[in-house]
Amino acid sequence: MTSPNNSAQTFLGMIKVTRFTYNMLRTNCYVVSDDTGECVIIDPCAQTRKERGWLCNHIRREQLKPVRCLLTHGHWDHLLSCDLVRDEYGLLPEVHHRDKLWMDRIESRIEEVYGKDGFKHDIVMPEHYLDDNEIIRFGNHELITLHTPGHSPGSVVYYCEQEGDAFTGDTLFREDIGRTDLLFGWIQDMMDSLKFLAERLPDDCTIWPGHDLESTMGHEKKNNPFIKKYI
């Protein structure tokens, strides 16, 4: 169910996933928490003041404590409110080390999209870059960082094996995949990543993509033409 503030909440096992859809590209931001109140923010991409307010109001209303700010990759539409997360919660973004290529270019890329003076917020850079299989802990849960290049060199999936949830960014969508024709994208890397996910994630794993609605790995194995070839 989608509420008036453009968010949707789903309770899965012991974790709660809240999805916000933000900015001109309708990019998904996720707040993932458990019963301890600790949470991670995945892809903080709110653009407008109203969108930013939805995120902060949710965290305040639910009495959550953000402990990590995670990027599925370094493209501009997934990181527009990293300054908000820094200022409100003292957290800097974290992204896979192979997307430092994108982070080094992010200021010029945002200027291309918004114009020289069109983006009114700070561009926040990571201090820590993630490795393959790095563990992200929050509350009583953890996410494992699965490296899935193709859409970008440092694209990752954050996988909560305890509850069967995968935050796939722009690697895997519902019945589709992310583009590979952008700078630093590569189709063969994407195919290798999809094969890896098809083997790694169980059918009942919930897929939370960077755009559009959630799915399951089982649904994708049956209906996603890019995944079906590996079954």
Domain residue ranges in the chain: 7-228
Q: Compute the average pLDDT of residues 43-62.
A: 96
CA distances for 22 relative to 44, 62, 91, 229, angstroms: 9, 20, 20, 33
Confidence of residue 9 (pLDDT cuts 50, 70, 90): low
In single-letter form, the type of residue at position 133 comes to: N
Spatial distance between the Cα atoms of 19 and 180, rounded to a whole number of angstroms: 25
Return the residue matching tokens 């996720």.
30
pLDDT of 77 > 70? The answer is: yes
How far is the C-alpha of 128 from the C-alpha of 147, rounded, in Å? 16
Contact yes or no for 130/156 (Cβ under 8 A): yes
Residue 130, H or E segment: strand 129-130
Residue with tokens 């983006």: 119
For the cut 80, the answer to whether the pLDDT of residue 1 exceeds it is: no
At 176, the pLDDT band (50, 70, 90 cuts) reads very high
**Options 3.40.630.30, 1.10.150.120, 3.60.15.10, 3.40.20.10; which CATH number does 7-228 get?**
3.60.15.10
Rounded Cα distance, 179 and 151, in Å:
6
Contact 155, 148 (CB under 8 A): yes
pLDDT band at 118; cut points 50, 70, 90: confident
What is the residue-averaged pLDDT of the chain? 94
* Residues recorded for the chain: 231
Would you say residue 2 has pLDDT above 50?
no
pLDDT of residue 7: 63
Report pLDDT for 20: 97
Q: Quick one: what percent of the chain has pLDDT higher than 70? A: 94
Give the SS3 label for residue 156: strand
Give the predicted TM-score (pTM) of the model.
0.93
How much is the pLDDT for 8?
64
